[in-house]
A = this chain, B = another copy of it.
Amino acid sequence: MSTEILNKIDKILIANRGEIALRVMKTCKEMGIKSVTIYTETEKSYPHSYLSDESFSLGMGPLSETYLNHEKIIEIAKVSGAKAIHPGYGFLSENSVFAKKVTDAGLIFIGPTPHSMEIMGDKKTSKVEMEKIKIPLIPGYHGDDQSESVLKAAAIDIGFPVLVKASAGGGGKGMRIVWKEEEFIEALASAKREALNSFGNDIVLIEKFIQNPRHIEVQVMSDTHGNHLHFFERECSIQRRHQKVVEETPSKALDDKLRKSICETAVAISSGINYKGAGTVEFIMDADGKFFFLEMNTRLQVEHPITEMVTNSDLVRLQILVAAGLELPMKQQEISQNGHAIEVRIYSEDPDNNFMPAIGKIGHVGTPTLNNVRLDSGYVDGNEVTIDFDPMLAKLICWGVDRDSAISKTLHSLNEVKFLGVTTNRDYLKRIVNTTPFREGDTFTHFIDTYSDLLKPVETTDLEIAAGIASFLTNSQTEDTTKSETVQAWNRLQGFRNI
């Protein structure tokens, strides 16, 4: 198979940055495919700019002139001799116009067809399509009439609480929950403003808001030979600011029957629209196990590694095989869930101050030591965290034989993967996975609001502070001596924890 692939795709341009650029690069290295990366002039010290086989500067400027610049990226691909473009997630990954330009330039776009992207790219169009193939949908208003009065009437008709969502949106931007009629107008204005800023489009839709819902999504992968596979579910209920922070698979909320039903629904969608490549079908599930189609992401998902660990597969590799026109090298019945995996997203932010993003210089990135633990990060020692890009520093993914073991490994590894010098949510993530509700699987999308009392910071003890002071004092002590003398001094130390 490897020669067959290399004949088609021997060099890939990765049209992204940070951890996902490094993630795609790893699979390229494993498959013997050369990788080409792009970077802006301010990113020369970030590893995605120098760990690839070749890298090209995008210059300086706003995103539209760099990572979103269709023409420049396609030109770099051609100059470098890349045969295909991997868009990662975000940026141009769900842009059908770009995908078409790539194909028109004689290059392979590693992703679905522009047509699939168009169907799924707009929440309204996608729901119309889903109704055709009888996929369950949440009651809602997806009309063209966007006048305040019509939207308000629709909200009253659906019944509060309702959700106001940007039609073109994602990632929680342009999204508001409205609990009471009298809050509707202000929330609508705020959502529309954020939508316009983020997506250049302020069309919104209104939906029944399901209380205590779980976010369950199914990973699908389709080739161009009629094989539509799924790689089981992920539960991503734990969210802050409507963005996922903790994801896991399998979901504790699914029994075998429900799992089969939701996964088969996802495959009904991917085969129904004749999908190609990797995609994620997102569902919202209520307490009774009723699930509704939410949206389909036509790209690799941030949280894809937990699926890789539990199904022992490499989704980027499969994306590349499919893009090269090959058949998927497994059958559905060969894919199984083994053990449990949890991903936590490490952000440079202060969870105890309304998740305010933080900036700074990373003095040191810690390394996880346990087996079957992955740290997907785009930062190395000395890198600056700036306001130019997303504040996600890394994803920590821990696999265990069972859920309890995955939780223990997550708690232990979060202590190890320090980002010295920057305020992060590491401690907060530990608090989340260590709560009784999380341990018991009582997870739903308002978990963080509901259990905010359990998530309060634990006061640092005097003893912990004293240990920090000891280190501070000996740090200043070592400043006065040379390094090697200090090491000898430690070696001379006698009686440490002797019996």
Residues on A facing B (Cβ under 8 Å): 2, 22, 26, 29-32, 41-42, 44-45, 51, 54-57, 75-76, 79, 308, 312, 314, 317, 338-339, 367, 369-371, 374, 382, 400-401, 404-405, 408-409, 412, 487, 490-491, 493-499
A493/B44 in contact, CB under 8 A: yes
- Give, as a whole number of angstroms, the nearest-CB distance from A420 to chain B: 15
B370/A31 in contact, CB under 8 A: no
Residues of B near A30 (CB, < 8 A) are 370-371, 400, 405, 408-409, 412
B26/A371 in contact, CB under 8 A: yes
Q: Pick the contact of A338: B22, B312, B409 (CB < 8 A).
A: B312
Residues of B near A404 (CB, < 8 A) are 2
> A47: nearest residue on chain B (CB-CB)?
B369
A79/B408 in contact, CB under 8 A: no
B370/A56 in contact, CB under 8 A: no
A44/B408 in contact, CB under 8 A: no
- Given A312-B338, A317-B401, check contact A26 B499 (CB 8 Å): no
- Given A29-B370, A56-B499, A371-B314, check contact A41 B400 (CB 8 Å): no
- Given A57-B497, A57-B498, A401-B317, check contact A490 B26 (CB 8 Å): no
- Give, as a whole number of angstroms, the nearest-CB distance from A27 to chain B: 8
A496 CA / B58 CA spacing, docked (Å): 11
> A2: nearest residue on chain B (CB-CB)?
B404
A249 CA / B317 CA spacing, docked (Å): 22
A370/B26 in contact, CB under 8 A: yes
Chain A, interface SS category? mixed
Residues of B near A382 (CB, < 8 A) are 487
Q: Pick the contact of A412: B29, B371, B374, B405 (CB < 8 A).
A: B29
Residues of B near A45 (CB, < 8 A) are 487, 490-491
Residues of B near A31 (CB, < 8 A) are 405, 408
Residues of B near A493 (CB, < 8 A) are 44
A54 CA / B498 CA spacing, docked (Å): 11
> A29: nearest residue on chain B (CB-CB)?
B412
A462 CA / B6 CA spacing, docked (Å): 30
- Given A31-B405, A312-B312, check contact A496 B44 (CB 8 Å): yes
> A41: nearest residue on chain B (CB-CB)?
B494
Residues of B near A57 (CB, < 8 A) are 495-499
> A329: nearest residue on chain B (CB-CB)?
B401
- Give, as a whole number of angstroms, the nearest-CB distance from A286 to chain B: 32
- Given A2-B404, A44-B491, check contact A497 B79 (CB 8 Å): no
Residues of B near A499 (CB, < 8 A) are 56-57, 75-76, 79
Known: A54-B497, A56-B497. 9 other contacts (CB 8 A): A31-B405, A32-B408, A51-B369, A56-B499, A57-B495, A57-B497, A312-B312, A312-B339, A371-B374
- Give, as a whole number of angstroms, the nearest-CB distance from A352 to chain B: 28
- Give, as a whole number of angstroms, the nearest-CB distance from A433 to chain B: 14
A367/B367 in contact, CB under 8 A: yes
Residues of B near A370 (CB, < 8 A) are 26, 29-30
A339 CA / B57 CA spacing, docked (Å): 38
Residues of B near A42 (CB, < 8 A) are 491
Residues of B near A339 (CB, < 8 A) are 312
- Give, as a whole number of angstroms, the nearest-CB distance from A59 to chain B: 8
Residues of B near A338 (CB, < 8 A) are 312
- Give, as a whole number of angstroms, the nearest-CB distance from A143 to chain B: 46
- Give, as a whole number of angstroms, the nearest-CB distance from A231 to chain B: 15
> A75: nearest residue on chain B (CB-CB)?
B499
